[in-house]
Amino acid sequence: MRDLIRPAAELPEADVCLVGLPLDYGTVLEGGRAGAAHAPNAIRRELRRYHKTYNLEHNVCLDGLRLADAGNLDLSHPAHETNHQTIRRELARLLGQYPRVVVLGGSHDGTYSTVRGLHDARGGQPVGGINLDAHADVKDRPGLISSGTPFGKLLREGVLAGPRFTEIGLHSNLNTWDDINFLHQQQARLVPLAQVQQDGMTEYMRRALRHATAGGGAFVSFDLDCCAEAYAPAVSAPSADGLTPRQAVEAAFLAGREPDVLLFELVELNPLLDRDNQTARLAATILAAYLTGVAALLQS
């Protein structure tokens, strides 16, 4: 895989552009474990080191993909809000240049501004999306941009269309009644973890993609804490229960195959707490599945 990824300066035109968000302050604000700022480089290392360009399961070769890497955004400003302005501006720019952008995060508050960047790139039209996550992340905290607030802010501001938004993998005892009730009021769709474990991922993801892309461009945000701690120990908020790697890979592949998914994110990896790069390798495997989906789409 390392031979496919070229600096964005060398590939002004590409099928996918990677960009890193070295950000974790939003997680710290929620009482989570600091360290997600180191995630972008950890995911890149595992993707380049571990993964090949041929996918046996789908008989798809990625060699024809043009993969640009825009590096990591400079999010070192002491003002949290200023860093979010940078994310929004740069994501809008990249989405105006490339057909698809993959965000390597970073704490989940970054999604508030990556999706606003998508919104800007689409001329201010409301967007659709999918959040694969243990937590709904719709807390109502005016004036605070934290990892627990991005989707609530986006829904309340009209950037994200409620009927085009699905939350997949929500855990049974990690969300409040108020947050779930708010999502119902927004006409969002909820797929609890128990339903995925009972019925599998594929049909729920396909259905969510149909809703998300009904009005055009959409995003898929993948919080690694939706995976069980046995598979993903190094996340900001680990849980004993969760998705399996197989379910995660299935979701990512389907996201890549959907032409109207313009933004794909991997967030909340915390490399400082990893075991033999286990979680970083899972993140890279999910990313490889997404890229396989893109390659399958372009070859179809």
What proportion of the chain, given as a percentage, has pLDDT over 90? 95
Contacts of residue 130, defined as CB under 8 A and 6 or more positions apart, other chains included, come to 165, 166, 167, 168, 205, 208, 209, 212, 218, 219, 220, 221, 255
Q: Is the dihedral of CA 115, 242, 258, 179 positive or negative?
A: negative
Mean pLDDT by 10 residues, the chain (300 residues): 95 98 94 93 94 94 96 97 98 98 97 98 97 97 95 98 98 96 98 98 98 95 97 94 98 98 98 97 98 96
pLDDT score for 31: 87
Residue among 28, 144, 89, 87 nearest 265 (CA)? 87
Residue reference for tokens 């501004």: 113
Give the whole-angstrom CA distance, residue 17 versus residue 6: 9
* Cβ–Cβ under 8 Å, residues 238 and 232: yes
Model pLDDT for residues 230-266, shown as the tens digit of each residue = 999 999 889 999 999 999 999 999 999 999 999 999 9
Residue closest to 110 by CA, chosen among 261, 221, 201, 199:
221
Task: List the structure tokens of 86.
Answer: 């940078």
Question: pLDDT digit string (tens) for 179-233?
Answer: 999 999 999 999 999 999 999 999 999 999 999 999 889 999 999 999 999 999 9
pTM of the entire structure? 0.97
The pLDDT of residue 220 is: 98
Long-range contacts of 190-195 (CB under 8 A, 24+ apart): 190/166, 191/166, 191/167, 193/134, 193/169, 193/226, 193/241, 193/242, 193/243
Residue 2 and residue 49 in contact, taking contact as beta carbons nearer than 8 Å:
yes
